[in-house]
Structure 1
């Protein structure tokens, strides 16, 4: 597959991706356990859009535009817990669901319709231990109806009950260059020869479900108790069949999230990596959230911290600098095009689906994304 290099550098293409992908399809914004109780909140940014995630008193997650409806100042930063949010500019106060509760010096300001001045709300759903949202407050779509069953397939992780160990955000180049490294293992024994080792296989199996996929290194034959087709997508284990084979490998949730399984300190863990575009074509962030299936003891937590540091090094010091140089070269206009080989099927699938989503009419998106399309 040949791809024009300007897919990674064109400001016009980037604006199209922001409008027709990142403001129309459900995005994973956080793991559910990052908002562990009422009042817990986290701020994120996607393609220049500031988002406030918060869990209300009833336990429902909300995704709000992190902007006061008076004059646009941020009402929250970082993460924490809050009963309400007060704008640091003029003191307007909002509830956990974005409702405007109070206007500072209201008698001096004048009469306002509080109901009309609630914070902008994004359609949101909480499925499979992840919080998904469509970053268009005018969207009438329910994100849950557009997941195509991928949420059912990853539900076996039970991520909602897991424990967050660490979270970090790494700066990067164009979001697709940052995400491409998650979609093939061809580079692993070369770029990561000093971390994963040169003997690591550079091959992968690719299984697709609509725009989503799972990338998994070749495994030994699973044996009599594990049917071969359990390694593919398209069905869930039946009674008596093990779930573990379905949860291994790197799960790719379109457009920019990966879930990678590790065993650390004797406990199953996952690294949830969310690659999001920045405000400009040549910028992105990769947010790494490391979760543990059970609460670790002191020794296991220390091992997990070492694993987190290792994974931050692999991505932050090996993958992303390589991608940044690619960005620099492509921006010269001299390379012209890039190509993906037969062993880079994940890249071909991803970029093909990206174009399909961009080309689709908004009315077509629910049926397009919801169709399982196992391959």
Structure 2
């Protein structure tokens, strides 16, 4: 699928900016360094507020179209401690529910699969793909109940640009256009809905914001990733764009001048991964790195305690699996990316957690060059203040 002309021009303008950064050894700059209280990463009350005011209000990207391509496909998962069931009904519509039987609270589905209805393993109550209660086991002895009031609790859910977004509050807001401000057009342009879902890996780390901070800057590439990222991407060379609370981070490659030299200027916006890369950030908890070989989508879930997070690393690519040898190569690649993410980023995050818990410093400081981190924490605070009339942060 070809990208719209205006988007090619917009990305091309960013490529030109990044080329200038490399040639002049510069990077995107905020107005000034900004501090964040150490308690942001430690305080239990703030952790609870983040769950209630952010993770249960913002639309969360919980699944991919490629995971549930067919009617009857479903996925049961945990998100921020809540059991969630996502499925595609026979008409092709995607729905989401709390995976909790209204009879006695047991889950009605586990793992992934395909089925026309869901049956609770505890007492065999059965529910349709629309969440409605179909049947009660041995109804003659159970007594009269109103089945229409005993369906699964549905969650706001919308499928867009190859991804499935869910609000974890049953009556919560779901306005993807307002939340993403055109950012999802990137994924429409990439034809993301028709990619292949390869699998996932799960890792655990420190407070979710300690882990997420690492996805928001390249200031650490040379020191922390000297053999994996730095050979491709210069350290401390980033460009930030805000789409509401979401961020597109541009990372030029060392070879950007060489890669773009013979490409017409009006086509620079079509050269992602060939001279420059993007990391796309969905507020509050998703980081996406798209590459030709394999794409990694990290979903960070807070908890179960303030000092820990669970991160699901999802892997996709444009082409389907060709054969068994290809599958083995994909599994090896997924393990490699998981190991690098954990060993190079999450291990130091756990060390940072200990450092903050020591009480050594009251605040952390994000430099002018770490504008993405500043912006993320500004939006975090905007949500926590719970005052929609307050001006929104701008990049």
Q: TM-score range by the shorter chain?
A: 0.7 to 0.9
What's the offset of the Cα at 1:226? 3.6
| Farther-moved stretch of structure 1 (58-67 vs 194-203) | 194-203
Distance 1:101 1:160, change over 3 A: same
| Counterparts of 1:293 and 1:198, CA distance in 2 | 25
Is the 8 Å Cα contact of residues 134 and 143 (structure 1) preserved in structure 2?
no
Q: Find the partner of 2:379 among 345, 353, 363.
A: 353
| Counterparts of 1:339 and 1:13, CA distance in 2 | 19
Distance 1:142 1:210, change over 3 A: closer
Q: 1:255 aligns to what?
A: 284
| Counterparts of 2:311 and 2:68, CA distance in 1 | 19
What's the offset of the Cα at 1:187? 1.7
Give ranges in structure 1 of 5+ residues lacking alignment: 232-241
Residues 1:134 and 2:160 aligned together: no
Residues 1:275 and 2:295 aligned together: no
Q: 2:147 aligns to what?
A: 114
What's the offset of the Cα at 1:148? 1.9
| Counterparts of 1:351 and 1:54, CA distance in 2 | 33
Is the 8 Å Cα contact of residues 127 and 144 (structure 1) preserved in structure 2?
no
Is the 8 Å Cα contact of residues 379 and 392 (structure 2) preserved in structure 1?
no
Distance 1:243 1:119, change over 3 A: farther
Deviations 1:27-86 (A, max 9, x none): 100111011211111122222111111111111111110111112111122212222111
Residues 1:164 and 2:197 aligned together: yes
Deviations 1:284-340 (A, max 9, x none): 211111111122434654443332122101112221121122222223333322111
Distance 1:260 1:140, change over 3 A: closer
What's the offset of the Cα at 1:249? 1.2
What's the offset of the Cα at 1:347? 0.7
| Counterparts of 2:178 and 2:118, CA distance in 1 | 31
TM-score (norm 1): 0.86
| Farther-moved stretch of structure 1 (185-194 vs 44-53) | 185-194
Is the 8 Å Cα contact of residues 123 and 142 (structure 1) preserved in structure 2?
no
TM-score (norm 2): 0.82
Q: Find the partner of 2:247 among 192, 202, 213.
A: 213
Secondary structure of 2:55's partner? coil
> What RMSD over aligned residues (CA atoms) do the two structures have, in Å?
2.6
Give ranges in structure 2 of 5+ residues lacking alignment: 1-33
| Farther-moved stretch of structure 1 (15-24 vs 164-173) | 164-173
| Counterparts of 1:156 and 1:149, CA distance in 2 | 12
Distance 1:200 1:243, change over 3 A: closer
Distance 1:107 1:282, change over 3 A: farther
Q: Which has the larger radius of gyration?
A: 2
